[in-house]
Amino acid sequence: MTGLDKLNVARKILLEDLLPKIKNEYIDDERPFLEISFFKGLILYIRYNDYEEYSYQLIFSQKPLDRIRYDNYDDVWNVKSNPHHFHPKGEKTAIESSMNGDPKHDMIILIKELLIVL
């Protein structure tokens, strides 16, 4: 499955479960990434590439580190789930993550996290 294919799967799942909370959504099929703006002011960025890498980032504000991010873009973090890791809000570190890059698996987890703050 290409990065764009994965992005479309993720988009479909997110829209099905979160549509009433979504203000706007934009998909860039060349890079590919998805940007979802929520009525509460939060912004979600979903990115996949064709090398099995992904990133899910939720921006709370423009303040430094006022975000959470799941990704596997680097393997420098000493966590059991390496290269998959989670960057907690307000921290430069990373901890273990239950994400695996499969949008059907990951979006279920992400939606549960989103519903806490939305």
Condensed to tens digits (0 to 9), the pLDDT of residues 5-62 reads: 999 999 999 999 999 999 999 999 889 999 999 999 999 999 999 999 999 999 999 9
Residue 4: beta bridge partners?
none
**Number of domains, the chain:** 1
* More confident call, 75 vs 73: 73
Is there a contact between 86 and 68 (Cβ–Cβ < 8 Å)? yes
Please tell me the predicted confidence (pLDDT) of residue 76. 83
Please tell me the predicted confidence (pLDDT) of residue 24. 98
Indicate left, alpha or beta for 91 from its phi (over 0: left) and psi (-120 to 50: alpha).
beta
Range of the domain at 61: 3-117
- On average, the pLDDT of the chain sits at 96
Contacting residues for 58 by C-beta, under 8 A, at least 6 apart: 42, 43, 44, 45, 67, 68, 69, 113, 114, 117
pLDDT of 78 higher than 90: no
